[in-house]
Amino acid sequence: MNIADKLIQNTIKTKNPSVIGLDPDIGKIPACYKMNVQSKNPLEAVADVIYAFNRDIIDTIADLVPAVKPQMAFYEKYGSHGVAAFEKTVAYAKAKGLVVIEDAKRNDIGNTAQAYADGHLGVVELLDGTWSPSIDADFLTVTPFLGTESLYPFVNVCINHNKGVFVLVKTSNTSSGEIQDVVASDGMTISQSIAKYVSEQADVCAGKHGYSSIGAVVGATYPEEAVSLRKIMPKSYFLVPGYGAQGGGAKDILPCFNPDGLGAIVNSSRGILYTHMSSEERARCSRQEYLLSVQAAAKQMQEDIYAVLKNKYRQMIY
* Residue 83 burial (C-beta neighbours within 10 Å; 0-12, 13-18, 19+): middle
Whether 105 is catalytic = yes
Candidates 55, 148, 276, 287; binder of its own copies (CB under 8 A) is: 148
Candidates 38, 40, 175, 280; binder of its own copies (CB under 8 A) is: 175
**CB 229, CB 170: distance < 8 Å:** yes
Task: Find the shortest distance in angstroms from Cβ 135 to its own copies.
Answer: 5
- Comparing CB distances to its own copies, the nearer of 104 and 264 is 104
How many chain residues are in contact with its own copies, going by CB under 8 A? Answer: 74
Q: How far is CA 58 from CA 43, 52, 64, 67, 69, in A?
A: 22, 10, 10, 10, 11
For the window 7-46, what string marks contact with its own copies as x by the rule CB under 8 A?
----------------x-xxx------x--x----xx-xx
Output DSSP code: residue 34.
G
Q: How far is CA 19 from CA 87, 96, 133, 252, in A?
A: 18, 14, 24, 16
Q: Say how far apart CA 67 and CA 37 lie, in whole Å.
A: 29
Q: How far is CA 59 from the centre of its chain?
A: 18
Q: Say how far apart CA 215 and CA 218 lie, in whole Å.
A: 10
Q: Decide if residue 268 touches its own copies (CB under 8 A).
A: no
Q: Decide if residue 149 touches its own copies (CB under 8 A).
A: yes
CB atoms closer than 10 angstroms to residue 254: 20
**CB 170, CB 217: distance < 8 Å:** yes
Candidates 8, 18, 51, 118; binder of its own copies (CB under 8 A) is: 118
| Residues of this chain, 45-74, that bind its own copies according to CB under 8 A | 45-46, 49, 71, 73-74
- Comparing CB distances to its own copies, the nearer of 178 and 224 is 178
Pick from 112, 94, 111, 114: which is nearest to 102 by CA?
94
Contacting range for its own copies; rule: CB under 8 A; set: 108-116, 222-230, 284-292, 294-302: 108-116
- Comparing CB distances to its own copies, the nearer of 117 and 301 is 117
Q: Decide if residue 102 touches its own copies (CB under 8 A).
A: no
**CB 205, CB 235: distance < 8 Å:** no
Candidates 15, 52, 143, 289; binder of its own copies (CB under 8 A) is: 143
- Comparing CB distances to its own copies, the nearer of 127 and 224 is 127
Q: Decide if residue 106 touches its own copies (CB under 8 A).
A: yes
Contacting range for its own copies; rule: CB under 8 A; set: 1-9, 189-197, 289-297, 308-316: 189-197
- Comparing CB distances to its own copies, the nearer of 73 and 204 is 73
265 bridge partner residues: 239
- Comparing CB distances to its own copies, the nearer of 79 and 259 is 79
- Spot the catalytic one: 105, 163, 170, 196: 105
Pick from 188, 193, 190, 195: which is nearest to 166 by CA?
195
Candidates 1, 13, 59, 174; binder of its own copies (CB under 8 A) is: 174
Q: Say how far apart CA 193 and CA 64 lie, in whole Å.
A: 35
Active-site annotation, residues: 105
